[in-house]
Amino acid sequence: MPVLELANISKHFGAIQAVNDVSLSIEAGQVVGLMGDNGAGKSTLVKMIAGNFPPSHGTMQMDGKDLVLHKPVEARQHGIEIVHQDLALCNNLTAAANVYLGRELRRGVGPFRILDYAAMYKRAGQIFAVLKSETRPRDLVKQMSGGQRQAVAIARTMLSQAKIVLMDEPTAAISVRQVAEVLNLIRHLRDQGIAVVLISHRMPDVFDVADRVIVMRRGRKVADKTIASSSPEEVTGLITGAIEQV
């Protein structure tokens, strides 16, 4: 059974049809590359899954049950986590503080509860170890490399039992070595049985790490196939419209 299933999803903003009749399903432990040119509808699609706004038409199902989201917080409660393109990190805080931002651990009784620094450092350290990332929980994010910053953002998604992680252009603005690091982080997520949706412009990254690729053009899904049965040339053709549909 797929973790997430979208059936005939459409979204229009006034007269603009951003997403048009898209159906797709995502399996646990699978990395899906979501590709398409600017304005193809990738972000709109992802924002609906993330609970930023509801679809105009169509239904979403999670683990076979209907999924209706009104707010991003609800998506998080359902195990849908997002790694934002700008990572949404606070440079003035430590790695652990960033991982736990908005869901800080506290100890104490009733209204007298204080931040549990020790527990947050410990757990954040464990997550970095699972991700095989050399990131120290006590270091300020300000001093970190692009790869470490990605690890901090990804570690957030592992605090609760995430089922799906949506990653928006995680490799857009970092060095070659760091790209390899991030792709490894994605593999580690997949190995935990988490479904990863990778939104990317970078063909090599998608073909390196994804199991499946979905291509969108002008609001429609024009391809949905395994990486093995596709090629970068074909996907480029689909993105630009040289190939109509497969």
Partner 1 sequence: MAVTLDQTIAQKQHTLLTRVFASQTFWVVIAVILACLFLSVATDSFATTKNLYNITRNITFVAIVALGMTFVIITGGIDLSVGSVLCLCSMVLAVTMHAGYGIEIGIAAAIATALIIGAFNGILIAYLGFPPFVVTLGMLSIARSLAMVASNNTVVFQFGPDHDKLLALGGGAFVFGIANPVLYMIVLALITGFVLRWTKFGRHIFAIGGNEHAATLTGVPVRQIKVAVYMISALAAGLAGIIQTGWLGAVTTNLGNGMELQVIAATVIGGANLAGGMGTAFGAVVGAALIEVIRNSLGLLGINAFWQGVFIGGAILMAVLFDRLRNFRRNE
Q: Which is nearer to partner 1, 73 or 242 (CB)?
A: 73
Beta carbon of residue 178, minimum distance to partner 1 (angstroms, whole number) = 17
Q: Which is nearer to partner 1, 97 or 196 (CB)?
A: 97
Q: Which is nearer to partner 1, 7 or 130 (CB)?
A: 130
CB 105 within 8 A of CB 120: yes
Q: Which is nearer to partner 1, 137 or 146 (CB)?
A: 137
Beta carbon of residue 142, minimum distance to partner 1 (angstroms, whole number) = 9
Q: Which is nearer to partner 1, 87 or 239 (CB)?
A: 87
Beta carbon of residue 151, minimum distance to partner 1 (angstroms, whole number) = 11
Residues that bind partner 1 (CB under 8 A): 72-73, 76, 84, 86-93, 97, 101-104, 106, 113-115, 125, 128-129, 132, 134-139, 143, 156
Beta carbon of residue 210, minimum distance to partner 1 (angstroms, whole number) = 25
Beta carbon of residue 183, minimum distance to partner 1 (angstroms, whole number) = 18
